[in-house]
Amino acid sequence: MNWTILIPIIAQYGLPLAESLFQKWTSGTPPTQADFDQLRSLAQRSGQDRMKAQLAAAGIPLDDPKAVQLLALAQA
Amino acid sequence: MNQDQILNLIQTLFKVGGGALAAKGIGDSSVWEAIGGAVVAAVTWYLSHKWHATPSAAPSVGVSSMLKLLIVCVLLSALATACTTNQQTLAANTLSTLEQSATAAVDGYDTLVIQGNLPTNGVPTVTKAYNDFQAALMLALDGVQYNTNAVAPPALTVEAQDLVNLINTIETNR
């Protein structure tokens, strides 16, 4: 990964994502059990979980009618 | 000229112009590459803000295009580091990058829906595509963790591409 790729990622998604991707691709260290456990934990998140997180980030309570509607739609 | 073309033009100008200046001893190619990246980032930021300020003037690039870039990046990085990194590390890094990229794309999509910049009727389909990707990732993880010669399964990249295409279609048709 070089700066031409990293900087737009930072601009779009923020530094943490770009930093973690850069570290993974440059360290070259073999994955540990903890790495696999963390990835498995991330893979267990559902679309509804992500919607809840974005609603929280937007400051919308989960019992707000708009939140209830979106969470119902994200139950697929 | 759409946003992709603008960004490509800027990158090409810095690549060609930076190479010429470096040949004359003014800076070196890595310096010009970094400056070009910063300019591209600034333009991306500007167009992104313009997009959110006036939804009707949305540029043709969005979250999904960035995901495509990340997927290409995964493949290029895998090729570039294949000689120095073991197979399991490459596969695990690929899975991790795809997971973070897909989640970032869905988060971006959800944010636009919450803001009212995208219709809600695509939410069930995007959610299903993301859940399918996550299920495929779980299967891939078992393969990679317990087999040091495993590669990231092509099916997982297909799942990620399906998610990309879906979000891209929704963004284009809004």
Listing DSSP states for B58-79 in one string gives: --S--HHHHHHHHHHHHHHHHH
Same-domain pairing of B77 and B33: no
B81 and B44 together in one domain: no
* Domain co-membership, B70 together with B49: no
Domain boundary among B22, B42, B61: B61
CB contact under 8 A, A21 and B134: no
Say yes or no: B7 and B79 in one domain: no
3-state secondary structure of B84: coil
* Residues B40 and B92 grouped into a single domain: no
**Which of B46, B123, B162 to mutate: most A Cβ within 10 Å?**
B123
Residue B89 belongs to domain spanning? 62-174
Q: Which residues 36-55 of A have a C-beta within 8 angstroms of B?
A: 36, 39-40, 42-48, 50-51, 53-55
pTM: 0.63
pLDDT exceeds cutoff 60 at B1: no
Q: How far apart are CA B55 and CA B153, in angstroms?
A: 37
**For A70-74, B10-14, B61-65, B164-168, which range has the lowest pLDDT when averaged over its residues?**
B61-65
B24 min Cα distance to partner chain A (Å): 22
Residue after which a domain boundary falls, among B42, B61, B80:
B61
- Note the Cα B22 to chain centre separation in Å: 29
Count of domains for chain B: 2
The whole-number pLDDT of residue A54 equals 94
Q: Same domain for B97 and B172?
A: yes
Question: Which residue of chain A is at minimal alpha-carbon distance from B10?
Answer: A4
The predicted complex's ipTM stands at 0.77
Contacts of A55 in chain B (CB under 8 A): 114
> Do B90 and B135 share a domain, yes or no?
yes
